[in-house]
Amino acid sequence: MRLGLAGTVLLSAAAYYVYLPLPSGVSEPWKLMLLDALFRSFMQASDVAHALGVCHRIHLLNHVVSLVEEIEAHSCPAVHVTDTTLAGVPTRVFQPKGGKQLKRGVIYFHGGGWALCSGRMRSYDLLCRKMAEDLDSVVMSVDYRLAPDAVFPAQYHDALAASRAFLSAEVLDRYSIDPERVCVSGDSAGGNLAAAVAQELSSDDSLTVNFKLQALIYPVLQALDFYTPSYQQNRDVPILYRPIMARYWLQYLGADTSLEPVLLANNHSSLDQLALSSSIRSKVDWTALLPAKRRKHFRPVVRETGSPRVMGEIPQLIDVRAAPLLAEQGVLGRTPKAYVMTCEFDVLRDDGLMYVRRLQDAGVTVTSDHYEDGFHGCMVFAYLPMMSKVGWRSMNNYIHWLDQNL
């Protein structure tokens, strides 16, 4: 009797911890709740360790990720997998066996808020392995440096150096990659790096080979407005909560994380911020850049007065290498044909949709692939144990687009 009662109490407590009200349209809500409960447990444990001075919260999280997710490079009948470096940056290479003599080539940057994860994780390994096999393409998954040990522009510099090396004649020849069929891609923070790299290299006239495509998966592209409709609508939707995205930005930019409330209140982009010109503000003006369907009933939050010192302390907030959405139209117009995936239940949805509009206005051909039942990170949860239906669908559509366009 007592064991039964204790079991009931424990199950009730677990259900209470796991249960989270989610929007009715989100794909497989109970799977997302369980995934979120697991993430919250790890994050809470890391916060405790950080507060006690045991270690930095990010170091603990990455240690857990390494133990649970990282796998050694191992080949299979269809794909040869090795670990190497590109311009000194650790990289996992996936080479299809057989197929055409000249292969397509994709360089990929993983997500994780510029602080977490690795291309050696099982989820990214499986994604890149499938890309290599389905596309008959050499895929290079880059392990750029991570915060807090490295901060902007270190991650950007790693991504840029690896991309330059990837496009070099030496690497293209070594891996039999067709120089006319190369793509830069990434998800979330990796999508940010892919967009920034595409902007930089497309403006470099000294290059003899450049990217044909850029494929951005729910990219994070700006940190001036934390009240876009998607930030307002999805502030409490897992797995990327609004405060966590602000924290990632501050860690990436090497800023004081105590400024998180300032960013979340949009006090850093108030009208008394002299560094923010009308031109800069227009590039994140979602009232003009988003279709009415996405704006819905939401209203902009623009402070008359805020924290004027913030832009002086964190000038990187308006550095286009960190925030690619802020690039000038002339720069965007030189970037390659684009694919941008967005998810309805993602705080970053509007970053991607605004970038789609700005690229189109600059004359770039863009495929906007939006998932009405999608959530942030869904594509890398296409396999067991999560095996998200929208993740599997989005991954296959992404690979199909690459197959049709690369």
57 part of a folded domain: no
The yes-or-no answer on residue 346 being catalytic is: yes
Alpha helix (H) ranges present in 19-71? Answer: 29-51, 57-69
Active-site position among 27, 141, 188, 388: 188
Does residue 274 sit within a domain? yes
Residue in 346, 350, 369, 373 annotated catalytic: 346
From the list 46, 187, 376, 388, the catalytic residue is 376
Q: Is residue 65 part of a domain?
A: no
The CATH number of whichever domain residue 148 belongs to comes to: 3.40.50.1820
**What is the pLDDT, as a whole number, of residue 65?**
83
In a domain, 163, yes or no: yes
Chain-centroid distance of CA 364 in Å reads: 21
Which region among 56-65, 80-89, 148-157 has the lowest average model confidence (pLDDT)?
A: 56-65
What is the per-residue pLDDT for 73?
96
- Strand 89-96 to strand 79-86: parallel, antiparallel, or no bridges (unpaired)? antiparallel
| Number of domains the chain contains | 1
- On whether residue 312 sits in a domain, the answer given is yes
Sorted by sequence, the CB contacts under 8 Å of residue 259 that are 6+ apart come out as 250, 268, 310, 313, 314
How far is residue 175 from each of residues 96, 166, 327, measured CA to CA in Å? 10, 10, 33
Confirm whether 252 is domain-assigned.
yes
Distances (CA, A) of 307 to 4, 260, 312: 56, 12, 10
| Contact (Cβ atoms closer than 8 angstroms) between residue 358 and residue 329 | yes
Q: Is the pLDDT of residue 5 over 50?
A: no
186: burial class by Cβ within 10 Å (0-12, 13-18, 19+)? Answer: buried
**What is the pLDDT, as a whole number, of residue 115?**
97
Span 79-104, average pLDDT = 96
9 domain residue, yes or no: no
Q: What pLDDT is attached to residue 17? A: 63
What's the CA gap between 137 and 100, in Å, rounded? 9
Instruction: Indicate if the pLDDT at residue 7 is higher than 60.
Output: no
* pLDDT at residue 261, rounded to an integer: 97
Residue 158 lies in domain: 73-406
Is residue 389 in a domain?
yes
Q: What local confidence, expressed as pLDDT, does residue 63 receive?
A: 86
